[in-house]
């Protein structure tokens, strides 16, 4: 009774190697297995930042931020979020960053009456203080395409408009590759950005032509790692749940 079972077990063990290599060691599947390095373990809790992220706002205070002219960040913290105080100027992280993955949640004001185009829910996330990913209420709010939400301002139109209605929380997930400069200050490689807006791809490894300009063509000037800057554009835009992973 036992003999057939044993024979079957031997066949199961022996068959894959024989079948796949045909006796040729170069066809051994183990030759293309790479076991090192072993990726670090990152915990990904459902309602918190990944375990290796730097949390830039956890709902409580703006201690990771400062005003653009120095001193405490002058924006208002309430209910687990913070909101632009119009006229108080922008805020920036105390830490400097180069290549990053960045998660930011934002919300434009529910009240839109009297505000159109660039005046409706305008703020912005400036990578390295110089390169703006536009924050705007682009829900049924026409403006120039390279200035709408998820545009790289005046440089790159988003692939689609994934905007939610005013007053709803939205998210950007960003992969930012900083520009590289030579010792002499020449551009070695331009900045690149990938952005998901509410989970939808809107910038696909977009190459930037230089720092954001309101007027005229963009160009590069050499710089190092720099803070993340949030714009005060006179709209009461709110932010929450901001974290960054250095790449
Ligand atoms: Mg803006």
Residue 66 lies in a domain: yes
Do 22 and 62 belong to one domain? no
pLDDT digits (tens, 9 = 90+) for 17-37: 556 788 999 999 999 999 999
Identify whether 37 is preceded by a cis peptide bond (ω within 30 of 0).
Answer: yes
**By three-state DSSP, how is residue 135 classified?**
strand
> First-to-last CA distance in the chain?
60
Q: How far is the CA of 6 from the centre of ligand 1 (A)?
A: 72
Instruction: Look at the chain and report how many structural domains it folds into.
Output: 2
- Confidence category of residue 8, pLDDT binned at 50, 70, 90: very low
Q: What is the mean pLDDT of the chain?
A: 94
Cα of 152 vs centre of ligand 1, distance in Å, is 10
Do residues 114 and 198 both lie within one domain?
A: yes
- The reply to whether 41 falls in a domain is no
| 104 Cα: distance to centroid of ligand 1 (angstroms) | 15
pLDDT in tens, 236-247: 999 999 999 999
> Residue 126 Cα, ligand 1 centroid: separation in angstroms?
9
Neighbours of 2 (CB within 10 A): 6
Q: How many A from CA of 122 to the centre of ligand 1?
A: 5
pLDDT per residue over 135-178, tens digit each? Answer: 999 999 999 999 999 999 999 999 999 999 999 999 999 999 99
Q: Give the confidence band of 47 by pLDDT, cuts at 50, 70, 90.
A: confident
Q: Is 164 left (phi over 0), alpha (psi -120 to 50) or beta?
A: beta
Judgement on whether residues 141 and 186 belong to the same structural domain of the protein: yes
- Give the residue numbers spanning the domain of 70: 54-246
Alpha helices in the chain (DSSP H): 2-21
In what helix (H) or strand (E) does residue 175 lie, and over which residues does it extend? strand 170-177
Pair (86, 134) in one structural domain: yes
DSSP code of 222?
A: -
Q: Tell me, yes or no, whether 25 and 61 share the same domain.
A: no
Task: Classify residue 37: in a domain, yes or no.
Answer: no
Tens-digit pLDDT profile for residues 178-219: 999 999 999 999 999 999 999 999 999 999 999 999 999 999
Q: Note the pLDDT of residue 18.
A: 55
Q: 43 alpha carbon to ligand 1 midpoint, in Å?
A: 33
Shared-domain flag, residues 220 and 128: yes
């Amino acid at each position: 009774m036992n003999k057939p079972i044993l024979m079957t077990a031997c066949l199961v063990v022996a068959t894959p190697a024989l079948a796949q290599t045909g006796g040729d060691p170069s066809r051994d599947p183990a030759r293309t297995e790479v076991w090192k390095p072993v990726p670090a373990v990152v915990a990904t809790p459902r309602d918190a930042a990944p375990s290796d992220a730097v949390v830039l706002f956890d709902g409580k205070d703006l201690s990771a931020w400062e005003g653009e002219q120095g001193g405490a960040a002058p924006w208002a913290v309430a209910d687990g979020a913070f909101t632009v105080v119009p006229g108080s100027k922008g805020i920036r992280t105390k830490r400097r960053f180069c290549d990053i993955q960045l998660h930011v949640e934002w919300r434009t004001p529910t009240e839109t009456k009297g505000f159109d185009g660039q005046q409706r829910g305008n703020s912005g996330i400036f990578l390295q203080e110089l390169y703006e990913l536009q924050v705007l209420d682009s829900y049924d709010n026409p403006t120039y395409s390279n200035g709408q939400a998820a545009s790289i301002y005046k440089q790159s139109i988003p692939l689609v408009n994934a905007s939610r209605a005013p007053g709803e929380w939205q998210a950007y997930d960003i992969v930012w590759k900083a520009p590289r400069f030579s010792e002499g200050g020449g551009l070695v490689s331009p900045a690149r950005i990938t952005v998901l807006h509410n989970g939808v791809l809107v910038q696909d490894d977009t190459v930037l032509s230089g720092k954001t300009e309101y007027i005229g063509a963009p160009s590069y000037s050499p710089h190092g790692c720099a803070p993340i800057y949030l714009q005060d554009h006179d709209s009461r835009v709110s932010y929450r749940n901001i974290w960054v992973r250095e790449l």
